[in-house]
Amino acid sequence: MSDFILPDIGEGIVECELVKWLVSEGDMIEEDQPVVEVMTDKALVEIPAPHKGQIKRLYYKEGDIAKVHAPLFELSEEGSEQEDDANNDNDDSASEKATASSTPAIQKTETKKQASDSAGPSEATSAAETKTPASPAVRRLVREYDLSLGHISGSGRDGRVLKEDVLAHLKRRQGQTDTPAPTQSAKRTSAADQQVRVEPIKGMKAVMAKRMAAAASSIPHFIFSEDIDVTELLALRAQLKPLAEASGSRLTLMPFIMKAMALAIREYPILNSRVNDEVTEIHYQPQCNIGMAVDSKAGLMVPNIKGVEHLSLLEIADEVARLTEAAREGRVAQDDLKGGTITISNIGALGGTYASPIINAPEVAIVALGRTQTLPRFDQAGNVTARAIMPVSWAGDHRIIDGGTIARFSNCWKGYLESPQSMLLHLG
């Protein structure tokens, strides 16, 4: 027997939410078989089995907060003798679990069995449920209505079950009964409508709350806003878009914005630095890893694109598409979340204009992009013309970045975006 110790699965992560056990006590599992899903402050992570064996004990219940470097589950050592013993004892294992102990893990097994019995054969939990892809929110919805994920057809990618699939399943099930009896969960939901709904802040949302509060209270923010004329940039993108699509890439403004930022950082590297805890040293980062804040269902995630200064526009576009999709699914790889050096938040996608973004520590700067609007401007002859204007709002760490520096950096970046052809002179 040996305890599986929850490893450090991220930068400074000390705890994570246990979303779902993919096995039960007594299950025989193979090496690398997914055992449990945990939600860190940044992503949903599957923990695989370190070796073949039998699950002896689960130390947490779903929804609990598991501690890093503490036992997560107990697993028997690999061995044919043990496996044979396990198979021989398999028939007796259920009754032993029901009476042998009053540990929390055993209580969990009993609870799950009672839930399965009450759900009836048509909604009994099956092995397929554990393999059906779905987000934590969808899994919670399924549990709330006492459904089985394995019985719901997923319309998402690779059969992923979406919220709409669950609601459609409920509607079909209710339609099969003239007078559908409300479930206990439905009764509770109806009663809760008359009360204050309390929702715990945990997982990524909890860490976001802590980090944003810490950053806002410990870093003096200098806010700088500007309008950027992206009329020529939009025209250039329109010209290049068919070529990008022919290469299988979706070309948005973001690759241009990132490339221009990497070029401006070459002239103002302090925007791509970090400050040590004692605020006695500035650590200039060797490459420009630009993070992009994504408003995922699980919470705010900031994956970053590594070495933007070395990538082509198409390579950046492909990375933007890959990371955006992964973030919205809540399954961004840990490596994609580590090592960011500066962040872009595109609030314009939601319709906003100006903002006061909070720095994503230990970075020293962040910019929020507002919604691009067609607005009147004067040309050199004094005539009013329609221009595409994108408002931007910078926040810089005022301990090491003064107002003049961030203004000059922003003007440099703006120059590349308003005359995008000028970037050609600096592309390596």
Q: Which of 51, 151, 398, 426 is flagged as catalytic?
A: 398
Query: Would you give the distance in Å from CA 6 to the centre of its chain?
Result: 20
Class of residue 366 by CB neighbours under 10 A (exposed 0-12, middle 13-18, buried 19+):
buried
Residue 402 bears catalytic tag: yes
Report strand pairing: 65-67 vs 44-48.
unpaired
Q: Which helix (H) or strand (E) holds 340?
A: none
Quote the CA–CA distance of 367 and 416 in Å, as a whole number: 16
Class of residue 280 by CB neighbours under 10 A (exposed 0-12, middle 13-18, buried 19+):
exposed
Quote the CA–CA distance of 108 and 129 in Å, as a whole number: 18
Query: Would you give the distance in Å from CA 135 to the centre of its chain?
Result: 11
Q: Which of 85, 117, 335, 402 is flagged as catalytic?
A: 402
What six digits make up the tokens of 352? 């906003």
Tokens 């209505």 locate to: 145
Q: Which long-range contacts (CB under 8 A, 24 or more apart) does 137-144 make?
A: 137/163, 137/297, 137/298, 138/162, 138/163, 138/166, 139/19, 139/20, 141/166, 142/166, 144/185, 144/189
Beta bridge partners of 369: 346, 392
Quote the CA–CA distance of 265 and 253 in Å, as a whole number: 18
Quote the CA–CA distance of 22 and 55 in Å, as a whole number: 11
Q: Which helix (H) or strand (E) holds 119?
A: helix 104-119
Q: Would you name the residues annotated as active-site residues?
A: 398, 402
